[in-house]
Amino acid sequence: MPNPRLKLVAPPDDAVLLGRPMAAPRHARLRARALRSGARSLTESDVLEILLGARDPYRAAPMAEALLHRFGGLVRVLAASAAELGALVGPQAAADLLLVHDIARRLLEFPIRERCLLTSHAGVKAYLRHSLAGQSRETLRVLYLDGANRLIADEAGSEGTVNHAPVYPREIMRRALELGAVGCVLVHNHPSGSASPSRADIEITAQVVAAGRALGIAVHDHMLVAGDTVVSFRDQGLMG
Q: Which of 22-31, 34-43, 71-80, 230-239 has the lowest mean pLDDT?
A: 22-31
pLDDT in tens, 131-178: 886 677 888 999 999 999 999 999 887 665 444 567 789 999 999 999
pLDDT in tens, 41-55: 888 888 888 888 888
pLDDT at 106: 80
Point out the domain boundary residue: 45, 78, 105. Answer: 105
Flag whether pLDDT at 60 surpasses 60: yes
User: Whole domain around residue 170: which residue ranges?
Assistant: 116-232
Point out the domain boundary residue: 105, 125, 157. Answer: 105
Q: Mark whether 56 and 133 lie in a shared domain.
A: no
pLDDT at 238: 92
Q: Mark whether 120 and 192 lie in a shared domain.
A: yes
- Which residues neighbour 50 within 8 Å (Cβ) at sequence distance 6 or greater? 27, 30, 31, 34, 42, 60
pTM above 0.75, yes or no: no
CATH classification of the domain holding 89: 1.10.150
pLDDT at 159: 62
> Is 13 a member of any domain?
no
- When pLDDT is cut at 50, 70 and 90, the band that residue 7 belongs to is very low
Closest CA to 43 of 56, 61, 58: 61
Q: Mark whether 124 and 219 lie in a shared domain.
A: yes
